[in-house]
Chain A
Amino acid sequence: MFDHLDALVLARAQFAFTVSFHFIFPSFSIGLASYLMVLEGLWLKTGRGVYANLYRYWLKIFAVAFGMGVVSGIVMSYQFGTNWSVFSDKAGPVIGPLMAYEVLTAFFLEAGFLGVMLFGISKVGKGLHFFATCMVALGTFISATWIISTNSWMHTPAGFAINAQGQFVPAGSWLPIIFNPSFPYRLTHVVLAAYLTTSLVVAAVGAWHLLRDRQNPGARKMFSMAMWMVVIAAPLQIAAGDTQGLNTLEHQPAKLLAMEGDFDASPNGAPLILFGIPSQKDAKVHYKVELPRLGSLILKHDPTAPLPGLKDFPRDKWPPVAIVFWSFRLMVALGMAMLGLGVFGLWARYRKRLYDWPLLHRTALLLGPSGFVAVIAGWVTTEVGRQPYTVYGYLLTSQSHSPLAASAVATSLAAFVVVYFAVFGAGTYYLLRLMSHAPEAHESEPANIPQRASGITPAASVVGE
């Protein structure tokens, strides 16, 4: 059934599938690790039981999500070699060390302290346990830093030379490689996305339980904390997205023009196309609804500033316009909805109705998964927008893949699809089940953990619910 597809298309589908699945888990666990750190810190500072209970409540969820992130992440570290061996050979000398540093500084840190965080509450002192939580949170952040640096280098390669074997090699200092032009913008955007995604999930879980019991102290506390985070992070994220857009215009104009749907150059100021049906073949957007000059105002901060069009670039260097155009709009629309939720929450707080306004809670519930959708949409925008290159401007995707038969790649792709849907489907079910339990006054008492012979201490109950 895969005979009509070539190995390149299949390898791209496989990478897109495995990385999209993987990216869901870190975008949740980066934020959740920080949230756990805040909860435990507040518990140590105030001694209030509600924080300790919320910590244990979310720790169980974190353990499952983190486990899924780990196993899907190991797949990624080998996908480069299995399916993109030419890319690995050529770009390895530059991006390999960045990824090795990620393993050394982040993965070991997370994994080493995770055991103590999950199982060690009764084995080490409170302070040391808090330290372990902080190290796991720090590890998730360091991990994001290195991998985004690596990814950014593929978009905006800098600080390299090309040797006789056609390999990208460091030209001199590593600083221009690590701090390549799009890295700071991308890192900000991704980390804020993780915080926003997590706070939306926490808000939705809180809202779900508030709809059932407005007096539940754990539900009230988590909902309030999450709604603060949404109202702070959503506008910051929109601003961060705007600066990344400006950076993309500077370094990857074709990608940005595809996002905007600007096929033709706009010498007198570009419009902002709200909707339309872009056609790569006809090189125009059909049925478009546009606001004149707003595009230039956003991108150049001047309504009459000229902007180029995709037609100024060779046609075979255009990314797939329709995908990028739509995924970008989906991401932006969700971002605006998140901002709306944040403002709604602020208004409810001002009117002292944060805990008893079902419409607010239903809205928060509805937007609970929106962070994941936005993250994937944003990822699709930037990665599909990078096409037709793996290393932007230097190495074509069609020259990066492994010398594999299509049947081999097709078989493995099918195996990944089946296994991921089964395993991560089950994991999602367990996560939802954990979330459907109301946070209780004593999250860790043995009475809550009848299924397992373990759990005299809080530590054991963490994993052995």
Chain B
Amino acid sequence: MHYNYDLATIWAFILAFAIFAYVVMDGFDLGIGILFPSFAVGDERDQAMNSIAPVWDGNETWLVLGGGGLMAAFPLAYAIILPATYPLVIAMLLGLVFRGVAFEYRWRDPRHRALWDAAFTLGSVVATLAQGMLLGAVLQGIHVENRAYAGGWLDWLTPFSVLTGVSLLIGYALLGASWLIGKTDGQAQQHARRLSFWLGIATFMAMAAVSAATPFLSFDYWHRWFEMPGVLLTAQVPLLVVLAAAGFFWSLKRGSERLPFLITLLLFALGFVGLGISMFPYVVPRAVTIWQAAAPGKSQMFMLVGTVVIIPLILGYTGWAYWVFRGKAGVEGYH
């Protein structure tokens, strides 16, 4: 049975990777949706939309892998978290419906364009808030009895989950704004830079607020973050965040086109590591560990064989697709 334990850890890392890939990749798509009303009708909006239209579908697929992978590798966690956050998941799915169809629909009839642009923003905002609050709901703990969720259907709604929801909204908006710096030029790029500056400030404040609130959710988190000798390691995360923040504003000031986005990715990565420190090895904090939730070794092994071959392939052709659409997104389309 020993290899079973190791498999569960490997799968926890694979799923963490899938979720991270989703967060940063669909993060900038959703961020553009969140910021869409601030873009001028016409060229600026078309350019913003064109910069993500060829890749958004692939980006969103990581969310399907996150959900499907969780069901396959940790079925118990999937069976507990989704009923516990039921209204959030449904809201996220419906938000993604509006966001997804807007890409096609807005071009189909110019008389309806304003409507689908609004749906694009509304869907992006709802999906992002739901994802952020889902994160908060999981972090603050879920009431589990007899291998099942045993709370009410609004237990997820707390000040903390609202904070994480709003924080993710700000963070995704920053991803979107900094992505557009690289993808646009002229007026649109100026606008993206201004947005990035203010969203950068807001993101660091949000990260600080969530980081400050998390250790007080339960004794366990406090213990993990602040007790010797672990603190020597965990203290590096906020330290790196401060360094990254300095780098971010420096790169904006310097007029760099790609660095602000790359540093934002780094910020998200650091936030993600912080999450890992808080959660591991729980998949439902304080209730279910990854080993308790794990599917049998045979199931995890069967998937692992395919995953180690296929994920590099996916990264390969996804990278190629990004490369095909490199450079500025014109208002004239792609050529």
Q: Which residues of A contact B (CB under 8 A)?
A: 63-64, 67-68, 70-75, 77-78, 80-82, 85-86, 88-90, 92-94, 96-97, 99-105, 107-116, 118-120, 122-124, 163, 165, 167, 169-170, 174, 402-405, 407-408, 411-412, 415-416, 419-420, 423, 426-427, 430, 433-434, 451-457, 459-461, 463-465
Contact = CB atoms under 8 A, between A and B. Distances in A.
Given A108-B58, A457-B335, 11 more contacts: A80-B71, A82-B83, A88-B79, A89-B75, A93-B298, A99-B68, A108-B314, A111-B58, A120-B334, A402-B82, A464-B107
9 contacts: A86-B79, A96-B73, A105-B306, A114-B58, A119-B334, A120-B325, A427-B101, A427-B105, A463-B104
B80 A85 contact: yes
A77 B54 contact: no
Contacts of B58: 108, 111-112, 114-115
A71 B60 CA distance: 10
Contacts, number: 273
B93 A78 contact: yes
B95 to A, nearest CB: 10
Interface residues of B, number: 76
Interface string B55-84: 101101101110111111101101111110
B101 A115 contact: no
A117 to B, nearest CB: 9
A423 B108 contact: no
Contacts of A451: 107, 110
A99 B71 contact: yes
- What are the 7 tightest A-B residue pairs by CB atom distance, in nearest-first order? A460-B333, A92-B75, A96-B72, A115-B54, A81-B82, A454-B333, A89-B79
A238 to B, nearest CB: 35
Contacts of A455: 332-333
B90 A104 contact: no
A300 B58 CA distance: 48
Given A112-B58, A115-B53, A120-B334, A107 B101 contact: no
Nearest to B81: A81
Interface string B306-327: 1100110010011001001100
Most chain B CB within a 10 A radius of its CB, from A90, A103, A105: A103
A453 B333 CA distance: 8
Given A81-B82, A89-B79, A111 B60 contact: yes
- The secondary-structure label for the interface of chain A is helix
A70 B100 CA distance: 8
B46 interface: yes
A112 B87 contact: no
A401 to B, nearest CB: 10
